[in-house]
Structure 1
């Protein structure tokens, strides 16, 4: 598909039933929802954000442009109002889209997001180092050097291994297959712009958000889950599901529990039978 500014985006629709528009994590990564199974009653709308994966490597890399791209994907698939499911950075992108276009979002599923503030990083870094254990030294070595493509992938797999409680290496290898170059320019630009938006401003905006929201937390996520508390308190219509013993990617570690939480939420919305 082509956006209004001429950027080519990769997108896919799989399954039959009610569509769910997915926003993957990153920024600068690609769609990793290939193993997400929401059940036979749903159709997954997936896409690679601009600059990464199978989409065209071109900016601008701004929050406004990314929100516009979400809307472009919705429109290209011929959808009016749609549930939006976002993971990690994609959870924040889904929230920003719902705030900008609440009339186009029937429900928001906020998975493993990092909340509205910016003070969770020190705890995350401590948790991350502890989770990697003896592998942390290799991760740090790779971070500091000029890397070829094989080392780029090795670094990513090491980093993603820490996102799981069990079988982290296997899950991380699956996430890195197929492999695409990471867009560090997009990551840096969007991460910096996110830091310019205050938590209080987002809390204020969320207080009037009419979109029913499901927050899904893996309670063993390295990113502290208290960071999401202010979002939960601000939303007028919110359900929160906490999955014990689950890390940052719950549909891989606890697929049945994750599917049950999402389906129960979407089936329980007003006006949905």
Structure 2
């Protein structure tokens, strides 16, 4: 698949990396993190026979202009609107994964008239962190502990105050390996996520995660979701180490929602159930 790369300038002058391919109605992909970069190259190409797929690196991350805040959902929503405005008319489809699912939901709440449909993949719902993070932490340590040497090395690297770039990549690959149900291929899958390696924007991730802790789980968020007049498809991997019950809060609140659970997939369902994932997205965007 050949991607056409372009820089989109946000309203405050920050330049955002984008890539597009395919034909048809636009489908904008919002990557996870926060602080990471677009990793949708493969699955984005597979969706390009159904839509004009638009990928982008969020502010301060990956191939976009680095080190530029502010790190707020409001600012990231404005950046996403700049990408949408460049490539699509009002009424684009959005697909967000993990943190990107939270961002895409935030955009739909802010601009429902500009979203035709929302595909919410592997998010953690709209409740407080207490709904999911303690179980996630336990599951993380248990799954990484399937290989004690990997857990020991991850702990060693995590305990350091300074990393080389190579050590940062090694730590990320070990951490990301827990996202896959197939333990024999977990490091292979995680290594593919880190290739190419752009380095994690740690300050971005820290600030946005703190913002989520303050704002998620509030009555105002529940009320906003109850009024959202946009069709939403929630896509889960049943083997995600983040408890899927956390997403029930969002499913209960939304008036126009359908949920697809892929029983053999983890946090990146397009990797472990590509056919099921493509089918779920296809029903959402057509």
Scaled to the shorter chain, the TM-score interval is over 0.9
TM-score by length of 2: 0.91
Q: Which residue of 2 aligns with 1:271?
A: none
Q: Aligned ranges for residues 165-180 of structure 1 at < 5 Å?
A: 165-166=181-182, 167-180=185-198
2:51 to 42, 46, 51: 42
SS in 1 for 2:179: coil
Q: Aligned ranges for residues 69-84 of structure 1 at < 5 Å?
A: 69-84=79-94
2:157 to 137, 142, 156: 142
Equivalent-residue separation in structure 2 for 1:73 and 1:3 (angstroms):
8
Q: Aligned ranges for residues 79-98 of structure 1 at < 5 Å?
A: 79-98=89-108
CA offsets 1:176-200 (integer angstroms, 9 cap, x no match): 0000011011001111111111413
- Does 2:223 align with 1:194? no
TM-score by length of 1: 0.96
Q: Which residue of 1 aligns with 2:22?
A: 15
SS in 1 for 2:47: coil
Contact 1:39 1:259 in 2 (8 A): no
CA offsets 1:7-45 (integer angstroms, 9 cap, x no match): 010001111122111110000000001011225121211
Equivalent-residue separation in structure 2 for 1:170 and 1:17 (angstroms):
33
Contact 2:117 2:284 in 1 (8 A): no
1:2 to 6, 9, 27: 9
SS in 2 for 1:86: strand
2:70 to 47, 54, 60: 60
Q: Aligned ranges for residues 125-164 of structure 1 at < 5 Å?
A: 125-133=137-145, 134=148, 135-145=150-160, 146-164=162-180
- The alpha-carbon deviation at position 75 of structure 1 amounts to 0.5
Equivalent-residue separation in structure 1 for 2:32 and 2:253 (angstroms):
23
Contact 2:266 2:272 in 1 (8 A): yes
Contact 2:264 2:273 in 1 (8 A): no
CA offsets 1:189-229 (integer angstroms, 9 cap, x no match): 11111111141321111000000000000000011101100
Equivalent-residue separation in structure 1 for 2:118 and 2:39 (angstroms):
18
Contact 1:35 1:252 in 2 (8 A): no
Q: Which residue of 1 aligns with 2:3?
A: none
Contact 1:102 1:211 in 2 (8 A): yes
- The alpha-carbon deviation at position 63 of structure 1 amounts to 1.0
SS in 2 for 1:93: helix
Q: Which residue of 2 aligns with 1:255?
A: 274
SS in 2 for 1:162: helix
Equivalent-residue separation in structure 2 for 1:265 and 1:6 (angstroms):
33
Q: Where do 5+ consecutive residues of structure 2 fail to align? A: 1-7
Equivalent-residue separation in structure 1 for 2:265 and 2:63 (angstroms):
29
SS in 2 for 1:11: strand
Structure 1 stretches of 4+ with a deviation exceeding 2 A read: none
SS in 1 for 2:15: coil
